Structure 1
Amino acid sequence: MKSARLLLAGAALAACFVTQVVRAETLNFGIISTDNSSALKQRWQPLIDDLNKQTGLDVKPFFATDYAGIIEGMRFNKVQIGYFGNASAIEAVDRGNGEVFAKVKYKSGEAGYYSLLITNVNSKWKTVDQVLKNTHDINLGFGDPNSTSGTLVPSYYLFAKNGISVRSDFKSVLPSSHEANMLAVVNNRVDVATNNTDMVETLRQTHPELLEKVRVLWKSPLIPSDPMVWRRDLPQATKDKLRNFFDHYAQSDPREQAIMAGITGMSGFEDSSDAQLVPIRQMALFQKKQQVQNDEHMSDEDKKVQLAALDQKLSQLNKVAAK
């Protein structure tokens, strides 16, 4: 009887071990919703297929209707690896046990991409200055709340620096994906919209006739290229497989290069770390400072306390950036 119990315990232990191995080798790959899920799947699935073949992992694509869905997926371990924007990567790192390990490279040779403000080519709004002076007459197509190029960058560089509150100064604000905002501009459903050069490149490849209907009014400073994030608690052996794949993918193989080019003009990947998020963190804190300073409902004492805390965080980030 004792031997039977030992055998059963050993079998249970072995089953537990097998279950852990399977979980470690089965991953969900989260992809932020810059476009509709069917379009994203069409672009990314060939890369995921190659990832599975070359690593022996079982990687499945994971889509959500907004950026928060991918962030929460990583937080609750429903997503173990993902393609993020910089702002959403901050949330994945801070709240989802994430870690930046790579970033994308572009065929153009650029170290990143750009946020845009766009309008229809036949719109009466011909310049960004016109937009800034007439916000109360303008319907704005805005980005996902966790979007770097659709929300954070234009909020700071375009609007906050010009004393404009997105929340209160526009006639209406309609948050949506880059694809939806692009189509809203093309079809004159909004006056202006935020977007980025990645989506412009996608439109250039898929529907160049639609791109002819778009006018760019404003272009941001360079945004660091999008990061790849994995959960910190992945087994080291799995991380090694992933890093080896992304380090070498599309370096010389023409088929792989074509797959990457189909993902909004990318050419491959290179190593990165959480350090690439520092400029975006600084931007977010500067924006938060401006919100506190302009908050008419906050007491002077509360403002003083919050601004001191924000200045301390900025000082710490500045030290990191200096290194």
Structure 2
Amino acid sequence: MARIASVGLSLGLLLFGASAQASGQLAAQAAPIRFGILPIGSAAESLEQWRPLLEELQKRLGRRVTTVSVSSYAGLSGAIGAQRVDVAFLSGKLAVEAVIHQHMQVFAQFVRSDGARGNVAMLVVRGDSPIRSLAGLLANPGRWRYARSEQLSVTGYTAPEADVFAPHGLNSDTFFANVQVGDHQSNLLAVVNREADVASSNNPDMDLFRHNFPGEAAQLRVIWQSPLIPSGVLVVREGLATELRRQLTAFILTYGNAPGEAGARERGQLARIPDLGGFAPQNNRVLQPFVDMQYVLLRQEAEHGQWVSPQARLARLAEIDHDHQRDLQKLLPQ
């Protein structure tokens, strides 16, 4: 069994509120809008990236906006489950959990600066690594060290597991000599520093890494990338007041589209968030690929697993099929 070291999973709650002078007259009695941010890079770095946009949202709504910024996927999921978040930026698997179990609804999707509505997962090695290809990686079980993200990460865990390891009857946690769990930026640095042989990542985090560490990024090489995975989404709590939700949605979906200098300024604020060009209207249906991806992964693991009897295996497969249909019904009600 590989040794799994958890890296950087402590929860950090960072709150901000613009001053009354900067924000205008806010309704003192109104509860703040609590905005949850999935970290790209560090929690503090993500907070700075989002701050200008959220300060403008605060002015538009005339209501204080506080930010729940966390250092882990589990931390953000926990905050949503505890009803400490009203609106959040989430990746697909977190969004599925939020919609199916935590009373949230999708209302917008990220649009990349190149117009695409998706990202790709990657496996990355050093340029001078003896791992020359994906086949070379898989040919040597128990030899390599792996740096991956939490299991709630689609690009950092689920996509590589479903598309690379499970189809070969492998589990990354037992295939590698050592597995360390951290954020995407830390995992890429681990490969550069020869603390890991391969890391999972995605194109936005690779772009951010190139921006922050251009010399180190030049030492990396991609050996695998996934098909396009739908981009992250914005979700809103079901119980949010109708008028407040309408104002929030209108602000998000039109931000960056204003004419003249105002639009240029808004697009500049969007550009602070890695690879973000704007937002498009969306609903819960955009999450079906993530439900299906998890279903495929669980079935592959069950089919390749060791069971005490054929009946036990069949029972597990039936359970997976049932859970998949249940989740689709919750996600896509008739």
The TM-score, its normalising length taken from structure 1, stands at 0.87
Equivalent position of 2:287 in the other structure: 277
Distance change in 2, residues 1:298/1:267 (3 Å): farther
C-alpha deviation, 1:313, in angstroms: 4.7
Residue 144 of structure 1, CA deviation: 1.4
Give the equivalent residue in structure 2 for 1:227.
233
Mapped to 1, the partners of 2:57 and 2:39 lie a distance apart of 21
SS in 1 for 2:70: coil
The match for 2:30 is 22
Pick from 303, 308, 311: which aligns with 1:293?
303
* Deviation (angstroms), 1:306: 2.5
CA–CA distance in structure 2, aligned partners of residues 78 and 310 of structure 1? 31
Once residues 56 and 135 of structure 1 are traced to their aligned partners in structure 2, the CA distance between those partners, rounded to angstroms, is: 57
Alignment match, 1:246: 252
Whether the aligned pair in 1 keeps the contact of 2:307 and 2:313 (CA below 8 Å) is no
Q: Rg bigger for which structure?
A: 1
Residue 74 of structure 1 contacts residue 231 of structure 1 at CA under 8 Å; is this kept in 2? no
For 1:86, the equivalent position in structure 2 comes to 92
Question: Could you tell me which residue of structure 1 aligns to residue 102 of structure 2?
Answer: 96
CA contact (8 A) 2:169 2:301 kept: no
* Aligned counterpart, 1:190: 196
How far the C-alpha of 1:295 sits from its partner, in A, is: 2.9
Q: What aligned pairs does 1:1-323 form with structure 2 within 5 A after superposition?
A: 22-23=30-31, 26-252=32-258, 253-314=263-324
2:153, 2:314 → 1: CA distance?
29
- 3-state secondary structure, aligned to 1:105: strand
Q: What letter corresponds to residue 290 of structure 1 in structure 2?
A: Q
* Aligned partner letter, 2:314: K
Count of residue pairs brought into register by the alignment? 302
Structure 1 residue runs of 4 or more that deviate by more than 6 Å after TM superposition: 316-321
Q: 1:133-181, CA deviations, whole angstroms, 9 ceiling, x for partnerless residues?
A: 1131000001111001101111101111232211211111111111111
Q: 1:295 to 1:161 in 2, by over 3 A?
A: closer
Which is richer in helix? Answer: 1
Unaligned runs of 5+ in 2: 1-26
Distance (Å, rounded) in 1 between the aligned partners of 2:160 and 2:130:
21
Gaps of 5+ in 1: 1-17
CA RMSD in angstroms, aligned pairs only: 2.1
User: In the alignment, is the contact (CA less than 8 A) between 1:85 and 1:226 conserved in 2?
Assistant: yes
Partners of 1:51 and 1:299 lie apart in 2 by: 57
